[in-house]
Structure 1
Amino acid sequence: MTLATAAMDGVRLLSHRPSVLYKIEHLASEPASGDISVHGLLLAGPGWDERLKAVIKALSISERACLFAVRLADEQSLPVPAETLLDRTLSDWFPEFLSHGQMRPHFQPIVDLHDGLAYGREALMRGMLGAVELRGAELIAAAEAHDALFSFDYRARTAALEIGLPLLPEGETLFVNLDPRAVLDVESSMRTTWPIVGRLGADPSRICLEVIKPERCPDRELLRDMVAEHRKRGARVALDDLSGGPDSLACLELLRPDIAKIDMALTSGIHHSPARRALVKALVDCAHELGAKVVAEGVERVDEFRAMADLGVDLGQGFYFGQPTERPMAVDTRLVRPHSY
């Protein structure tokens, strides 16, 4: 790191807290030269992104929050949080994916915990860029880093509906993700969903729009109005990743979903945690009181299935019942029968 201008790739680090920049120089064992509070620090040359990654990791959360960066190749741009710039650098393939990549939904069964039959399938997004397959978490993280959630959410939902509805087994429901962070307004949410359904001539009642992490959405009025409008078209609504905290209960009471999905963080190892079992039981009772079925996400072991079934959970989803596949797979009903224990 040096204050001299470098004719190579890298970033200029800036902060309104000079102590952060001095700490970075100290970590690098390189003396400061000049007023770094004004000029910032340059991090350039081969492997600059890996060094930036190490710097960010060494800072506290509060220090990271006030560290900004500008790419040397584009010094006319505005500074962005250093973590965001790093994420964009590590996912520099994403703009090309949005332009030329292929969305490929995989379908994971959601199973009735009483009879083992498939209630529906969730369309989980995968991507192909050339010969490279991209996982859903990679795609979402890249969309966040590049401020492209709206484009990604629209394309993902389009692929889920266009590919999933024709493949959906008779009598089942297709769960399609909808990220509230990508909702500009209620009308845009409708425009990016229902023309596709109409073109396919699909039964709206076989579609369940799954609102991702509703607890983190600050505009609850927008969320309420959006849910109401989708319901008017005949869709069912699910709330995803419910944590069991006060915000979960607030979302349940405000939106009154048809389906409430318990975050997999609560599912994992729940048979070893009396506290989590009590939390899930309260969430299940609240959802049932409001007329919603409850899905346990991330069920991977028979003990997790048993615990959730004992707590009154209606449906289960996870590797225990089946992995996401390009075509909906058959479900083994013996997985929930007592003799399969």
Structure 2
Amino acid sequence: MVTVNSCEQCKGKILLINSGKLLLHIDQIDVAERVKAHLDIKGIKSVLAHPWLQICFGSTTDLQRYISLVESQLTDKQMQQFSGRLLSHKTVEGHSFNDYPLSQLSLIIENPDFVKIIQEKLYQSFIQPVINTKTKEVAGYEFLLRPASRLYPFSPGDLFMFARHSGLQSLLDSQTRINAIRTASHMVPEGKKLFINFLPSSIYNPEHCLKSTFKALEDYDVNPQDIVFEVVESEKIRDLSHLKSIFTCYKKAGVKVALDDIGAGYSTIEVLKELKPDYAKIDRRVIQNCHKDPVKMSKIKKLRAITKEMKITLLAEGIESEEEFKAVKPVTDLVQGYYFGRPLKKPC
């Protein structure tokens, strides 16, 4: 099954094992005894050496059943409070096994396909063109995560949600950034902007966590000035100072930064002034049918005035029709959407 080595440092490795030991660290003796008694009733042998409760498993199916029985005896708070780990019967050189909150460990055990996708990097970067509004030429590409195997399909949103709740987010986020850089190095000519998403919550220490990203730029000989790292749409701005520190670290390395989904709920003017991004992407919900909606067009024009004053490049994403493009063309610098091209393996 699965465990992770140093995932929080973006260097983690997941180890899949089919048999071994499930070790539960339950430091409340009455709770540990209750869990053991429930396992005994179900005919499952376990060994309690407080605070550790050990259960041997011989298959993934057994492991999933055992963790489900354990979970049935604990509250949500206890699943967060107590931890566990998986140990292989065989010694695996170069791997150490970390403890995880049982809530995370349970998710990992119950979702082997997602784990395999992350472990074996069964994904690829598709690219979608970003168009210069005035010249209608390709100014760059956004890199979007897609399945690499028909046997292991996934929704990018579901995969990242699983990674977030299971403690694998930092690992997945780092791997996908590097995958996008590698793809760009042999598919996109120098000088085109490369829009690559990132999750601020996966970067707990910018100076440390982004080392692998900057090393990838060097290894694959990608010009940092072509890179635009953008906050993905699923992220909410909960910690402005943390996001600002990430932006500062990126800019120090010579890369550009973009703020996604502007005009969608949070205080746009204050956020733009605080973060000072190089690019601002208008939320697709504002763009949708904007040619029919005077309120939306008024908002877009206001965003244009703000970004122009701050010398921020304004991009409208989610363009799906000629009418939408004509409406935003006079007030945006860049556009993106199915009207210009769907995400593909290679540039058109």
* TM-score, normalised relative to structure 2: 0.67
Taking structure 1 as reference, are residues 278 and 195 closer, same or farther at Cα in structure 2, changes over 3 Å only? same
Q: Secondary structure at the match of 1:115?
A: coil
Q: How does 1:175-186 map to 2 (within 5 A)?
A: 175-186=195-206
Q: Distance in 2 between matches of 1:93 and 1:255?
A: 38
Q: Distance in 2 between matches of 1:260 and 1:73?
A: 47
**Partner letter of residue 168 of structure 2?**
A
Q: Distance in 1 between matches of 2:274 and 2:229?
A: 16
Q: Distance in 2 between matches of 1:214 and 1:230?
A: 20
Q: Distance in 1 between matches of 2:78 and 2:267?
A: 28
Identity among equivalent pairs (%)? 26
Contact 2:108 / 2:115 at 8 angstroms: preserved in 1?
no
Q: Distance in 2 between matches of 1:133 and 1:214?
A: 20
In angstroms, what is the RMSD of aligned CA positions?
2.8
Taking structure 1 as reference, are residues 192 and 250 closer, same or farther at Cα in structure 2, changes over 3 Å only? farther
CA deviation map 1:238-279 (0-9, x unaligned): 111212545322221111111100111111111111111111
Q: C-alpha displacement at 1:173, in angstroms? A: 0.9
Q: Distance in 2 between matches of 1:215 and 1:119?
A: 25
**Partner letter of residue 245 of structure 2?**
D
1:278 corresponds to 2:275? no
Contact 2:200 / 2:246 at 8 angstroms: preserved in 1?
no
Contact 1:259 / 1:293 at 8 angstroms: preserved in 2?
yes
Taking structure 1 as reference, are residues 297 and 206 closer, same or farther at Cα in structure 2, changes over 3 Å only? same
Taking structure 1 as reference, are residues 273 and 147 closer, same or farther at Cα in structure 2, changes over 3 Å only? farther
1:126 corresponds to 2:146? yes
1:138 corresponds to 2:158? yes
Q: Distance in 1 between matches of 2:150 and 2:122?
A: 9
1:195 corresponds to 2:215? yes
Q: Secondary structure at the match of 2:222?
A: coil
1:204 corresponds to 2:224? yes
Contact 2:314 / 2:333 at 8 angstroms: preserved in 1?
yes
Q: C-alpha displacement at 1:98, in angstroms? A: 1.4
The match for 2:338 is 319
The match for 2:252 is 232
* Structure 1 gap ranges (5+): 1-69, 330-341
Moved over 6 A (4+): 84-90
1:72 corresponds to 2:58? no
The match for 1:165 is 185
Q: Secondary structure at the match of 1:326?
A: coil
The match for 2:323 is 303
Contact 2:229 / 2:256 at 8 angstroms: preserved in 1?
yes
Q: Distance in 1 between matches of 2:286 and 2:191?
A: 29
The match for 1:216 is 236
Taking structure 1 as reference, are residues 123 and 194 closer, same or farther at Cα in structure 2, changes over 3 Å only? same
Contact 2:131 / 2:335 at 8 angstroms: preserved in 1?
yes
- Indicate the larger mover: 156-165 or 244-253: 244-253
**Partner letter of residue 342 of structure 2?**
Q
Q: C-alpha displacement at 1:111, in angstroms? A: 0.2
Taking structure 1 as reference, are residues 201 and 90 closer, same or farther at Cα in structure 2, changes over 3 Å only? same
Q: Distance in 2 between matches of 1:139 and 1:214?
A: 12
Contact 2:182 / 2:220 at 8 angstroms: preserved in 1?
yes
Taking structure 1 as reference, are residues 241 and 189 closer, same or farther at Cα in structure 2, changes over 3 Å only? farther
**Partner letter of residue 204 of structure 2?**
L
The match for 1:50 is none
Taking structure 1 as reference, are residues 214 and 251 closer, same or farther at Cα in structure 2, changes over 3 Å only? farther
Q: How does 1:73-112 map to 2 (within 5 A)?
A: 74-75=71-72, 79=76, 92-112=112-132
The match for 1:151 is 171
Q: C-alpha displacement at 1:81, in angstroms? A: 12
Q: C-alpha displacement at 1:85, in angstroms? A: 11
* Structure 2 gap ranges (5+): 1-66, 80-103
Q: C-alpha displacement at 1:156, in angstroms? A: 0.8
